[in-house]
Structure 1
Amino acid sequence: MMEISYNCRAFLHKNGQVMIRVRWNNKKREVGFSVGCNADPEKWDNENQRARYNTTHKVGGKVYVARDINNRISQFLECIEESFTEYGVHAQVPTTKELKELVNEKLGRIEEETPEEETEEVHEKTLQNAFFEFMKLRPSENNWGEKTHCKYNQMWDHLNSFDSSISLEKLDKKKLNGLKEWYIANGYHNATTNKHFRNLKGVLKWADSNGYPVKKEVFAYKTNLPVPPKTVTFLKYKELIHFASFQFPVNKEYLDRARDYFCFMAFTSLRYSDLRALKKANVSDEYMELYTQKTKDRIRIPIISHARKILEKYKDNEGVYVFPVPSNQKLNDYLKEAAELAGLDREIVETYFIGTQRYEEIHKFYETISCHDGRRTFVCCSLALGVTPSVVMSCTGHADYESMKPYIEVADETQKMQMEKWNTHQYKSDIIERLEKMTPTQLKEIYEHIRSRA
């Protein structure tokens, strides 16, 4: 019996269809199967390649339950395994057409339609083909957003601007070093350069695992470019409360709304994407429960009084969404105008490197404020007020303590407020000592004075 090495992966196509991709014969052959049902991306578990347990999926006017979706996937995988076993018994490696026909026969299906183009032909193993194949398959597997598409396309444009004839044969440590020098010569910050190198390595690792001839030395390459810790911008507690209560001119109502949206994010930890997608059904009397748009994590956030006031203000908003949120760019523009009017002019120092050259830029806070500062403000103010990191993480969805460290390190108010306990303790001790020395008459006089002030 021949042992045929193959792998299967269940994923969502961009239109919501549940797909299974099968690769074999050193990954030179592949075929895609449509499982015949759809799933909601927010309720799909990428790691386990299944619909999340006990969820209901409403897609394209049809309703699917997780149990049925997952059973259907399992049925396909069993038929695929049986098909490879049969070919292995006869010491044969199936073609894409043969495997497809046998699996469909076992499933009782006559014809299989798949949104993915299939071909028996093995593509030429060029860098360009690797990139295009990567961009074709990875987005549907990992549910990419527009920004993820953009960053990989930028990296590819940079690579071709550096060398329009770049190829896998040419791509070695020397070539990567030349690419690094190109980024430096064109004035890219080291942090940006490192980010694009990480994306390039991601493509090359994928290409290597899919049979493309990638030189192993490129995976060990390091730019060794210095990158200082990123400046984490956020509003301190007093600044946040001031901003939340600031009265804008009547003719600038749009600034009032922009401020409310920012403060709501600062009081709840929501990202812009979650704020915009927040539905009235996600909000109860005490909590908000939702799946985050970016990570698809389910989070449950207590609604504090500050956030409740904002919800009350917009309770009559029409439609299913809580807030009529404008585009991200428009909201950021409004926030800059609102923050300047409110006097949020604390100076922010940004340090960066281009190559080995160090630079510093000083900005007013209102010049740099953006939607994401709301989430940072929530983390830093929560820590400053003594909320434990584990509780903050349960609200934000941060996966581990390491991802919280940048906030903890920059939240100087945390240090100040925690150290203030020494003064508070000393002050209380001094009062107790004085009270212990007072006569009953003096204590009575103090009591009457406090009572008259109450």
Structure 2
Amino acid sequence: MATVSFHLKEPQADRPTAIYALLTIDRGNRLKIYTGQSIHPSKWIKDDQRAKERGKGNELNGHLNDALNGIQDRLLTTYAEHLAAGALPTAAQLKAAAAPVAITPKVPQLDKADLLTVFTEWIASRSLTHTPNTLRTYRTTLRHLRDFQSAAKYPVAFDTVGGTFSQRLAEYLLTKRQLRDTAVRKNLVILKCFLAWATEHGYPVPPDYKKISWQRREPDILTLTRAEVVALASLDLRPALNNARGLFLLGVYTGLRFSDVAALRPEHIHVDRLRLTTQKTRDTLTIPIRPEARPLLAQIVAGTLRPLPNQVLNRYLKELAALAGIDTLTERTHYAGGKRHTTTAPKYEFVTTHTARRTFVTLALEAGLRPELIMKITGHKDLKSFSRYVNVTEDSVLTEFARVYETPVVETTAM
């Protein structure tokens, strides 16, 4: 008699991991066969040895379970057929039996496919490999497309997304949805990624979809100075604000995104470094631990530094920055539809979770770390994206100029 069970290669991983089958035969002999399937451990039911099928983001798990059921049947059938012939199947024969069964797409149906329906299926197909935040942005784009079709009376279909479609959609997002240039660009990039996938899978996408683009201007970069970070770290706070400060300062000291700070676990913390897989890009990063970060990481290990929702933490951060005296009048600029919009307010009004990562990059450069080393820590792949995190202030220009050329910085006074 033989039995088949399914297990995860890395059940404690924070990323999708391989699923393997364990074929147990008489006298306790076991053979491990990889199925070619993978899943995030959070979506796996260990006792059932199957994927979760209920809950948001689990829409495709029924297909995965069907695939596992098929693999189980084929393994048991292969074993029984060889046993009836007086021999045991080889490892290669079992591996072939576990191989995914190819399904030939029904090409004629692709010509009649509804773009918004296929977009929904595309999002679902990424639920096993993409983070919840990324999937949320995909669903936002899908919602904008549906709203655009309804409000603008413009059909969103595979035969209409070429030509001037992106300009029409961008105009709608700017004027009706009041989105900024950066948000418009993000939605168009997601649409373009979907259309590239649809093209690869045989859907009738107009070839000029590749011209979809949006010229944006980068908003101002806000960072804290070294003195402002010290002032923030020196505050005597009530527990809720102290917890919020700890999360923010971990971002300042490590350069991690807020989502990665919130996901830190004791197993990520080593003697002299952090090692973890990022939530957004799935890159594995190694980050040296600064002395200032050690007490905060000890709180992670002890379970006393607790994650907060992004919106709640942003609200606390403005209060913290105000308490720390980070109140210099600051002008912030953003762009919508190519138009420049400015707002002037105390600096603490503009502090958010993302300020921490940008502060890390800027202060690390000011301290003399090479850009390529900082990029290795933050996970940036190119200088263009990295430069969006660098804030070169007037004071830092004057100080660095004086250091290099040995000219003192002179304070001018009114006569």
1:231 aligns with 2:220: yes
1:136 aligns with 2:118: no
Deviations 1:84-108 (A, max 9, x none): xxxxxxxxxxxxx9xx989x96844
Deviations 1:302-333 (A, max 9, x none): 22222234445x37824xxx732223332222
Deviations 1:68-122 (A, max 9, x none): xxxxxxxxxxxxxxxxxxxxxxxxxxxxx9xx989x96844899799x9978755
Question: Is the alpha carbon distance of 1:117 and 1:135 closer, same or farther for their aligned partners in structure 2, counting shifts above 3 Å?
Answer: farther
TM normalised by structure 2 equals 0.69
1:243 aligns with 232
1:182 aligns with 2:167: no
1:216 aligns with 2:223: no
Deviations 1:28-87 (A, max 9, x none): xxxxx9817756689xxxxxxxxxxxxxxx99489xxxxxxxxxxxxxxxxxxxxxxxxx
Question: Is the alpha carbon distance of 1:310 and 1:121 closer, same or farther for their aligned partners in structure 2, counting shifts above 3 Å?
Answer: closer
Question: Is the alpha carbon distance of 1:286 and 1:253 closer, same or farther for their aligned partners in structure 2, counting shifts above 3 Å?
Answer: same
- 1:1-80 equivalent positions in 2, closer than 5 A: 16=16, 18=18, 35=35, 60=46
Q: Distance in 2 between matches of 1:15 and 1:410?
A: 36
Q: Secondary structure at the match of 2:262?
A: helix
Deviations 1:379-421 (A, max 9, x none): 1111112222122223222223333223345355543332231
1:166 aligns with 2:156: yes
Question: Is the alpha carbon distance of 1:59 and 1:421 closer, same or farther for their aligned partners in structure 2, counting shifts above 3 Å?
Answer: farther
Question: Is the alpha carbon distance of 1:287 and 1:15 closer, same or farther for their aligned partners in structure 2, counting shifts above 3 Å?
Answer: closer
2:367 aligns with 385
Deviation of 1:229 after TM superposition, in Å, equals 1.9
Query: Does the 8 A contact of 1:232 with 1:410 survive in 2?
Result: no
Question: Is the alpha carbon distance of 1:16 and 1:247 closer, same or farther for their aligned partners in structure 2, counting shifts above 3 Å?
Answer: closer
Question: Percent of aligned positions with the same letter in both sequences?
Answer: 26
Query: Does the 8 A contact of 2:296 with 2:305 survive in 1?
Result: no
Q: Secondary structure at the match of 2:331?
A: strand
Deviations 1:336-387 (A, max 9, x none): 2211222212334332333243322224332222222111111111111222
Question: Is the alpha carbon distance of 1:179 and 1:284 closer, same or farther for their aligned partners in structure 2, counting shifts above 3 Å?
Answer: closer
1:269 aligns with 255
* Counterpart amino acid of residue 394 in structure 1: K
Question: Is the alpha carbon distance of 1:354 and 1:422 closer, same or farther for their aligned partners in structure 2, counting shifts above 3 Å?
Answer: closer
What CA RMSD, in Å, does the superposition of the two structures yield over aligned residues?
A: 4.0
Deviation of 1:235 after TM superposition, in Å, equals 0.7
Q: Secondary structure at the match of 1:418?
A: helix
Question: Is the alpha carbon distance of 1:200 and 1:232 closer, same or farther for their aligned partners in structure 2, counting shifts above 3 Å?
Answer: same
Larger CA deviation: 259-268 vs 169-178: 169-178
Q: Distance in 1 between matches of 2:265 and 2:99?
A: 35
Q: Distance in 1 between matches of 2:158 and 2:37?
A: 39
Q: Secondary structure at the match of 2:194?
A: helix
Q: Secondary structure at the match of 1:407?
A: coil
Q: Distance in 1 between matches of 2:286 and 2:360?
A: 15
1:278 aligns with 264
Q: Secondary structure at the match of 1:308?
A: helix
Q: Distance in 1 between matches of 2:172 and 2:407?
A: 60
Q: Distance in 1 between matches of 2:138 and 2:301?
A: 42
1:350 aligns with 2:351: no
1:317 aligns with 302
* Counterpart amino acid of residue 35 in structure 2: V
Question: Is the alpha carbon distance of 1:206 and 1:331 closer, same or farther for their aligned partners in structure 2, counting shifts above 3 Å?
Answer: same
Question: Is the alpha carbon distance of 1:216 and 1:323 closer, same or farther for their aligned partners in structure 2, counting shifts above 3 Å?
Answer: same
Question: Is the alpha carbon distance of 1:177 and 1:306 closer, same or farther for their aligned partners in structure 2, counting shifts above 3 Å?
Answer: closer
Question: Is the alpha carbon distance of 1:412 and 1:130 closer, same or farther for their aligned partners in structure 2, counting shifts above 3 Å?
Answer: farther
1:397 aligns with 379
* Counterpart amino acid of residue 203 in structure 2: Y
TM normalised by structure 1 equals 0.63
1:293 aligns with 2:294: no
Query: Does the 8 A contact of 1:265 with 1:374 survive in 2?
Result: yes
Q: Secondary structure at the match of 2:302?
A: coil
Query: Does the 8 A contact of 1:130 with 1:212 survive in 2?
Result: no
Unaligned residue ranges in structure 1 (runs of 5+): 1-13, 21-32, 43-57, 63-96, 428-454
Q: Secondary structure at the match of 1:288?
A: strand
Match 2:138 to one of 134, 152, 169:
152
Q: Distance in 2 between matches of 1:316 and 1:180?
A: 46
Q: Secondary structure at the match of 1:325?
A: coil
Query: Does the 8 A contact of 2:115 with 2:158 survive in 1?
Result: yes
Q: Distance in 1 between matches of 2:156 and 2:368?
A: 54
Match 1:367 to one of 349, 353, 357:
349
Match 2:182 to one of 188, 191, 207:
191
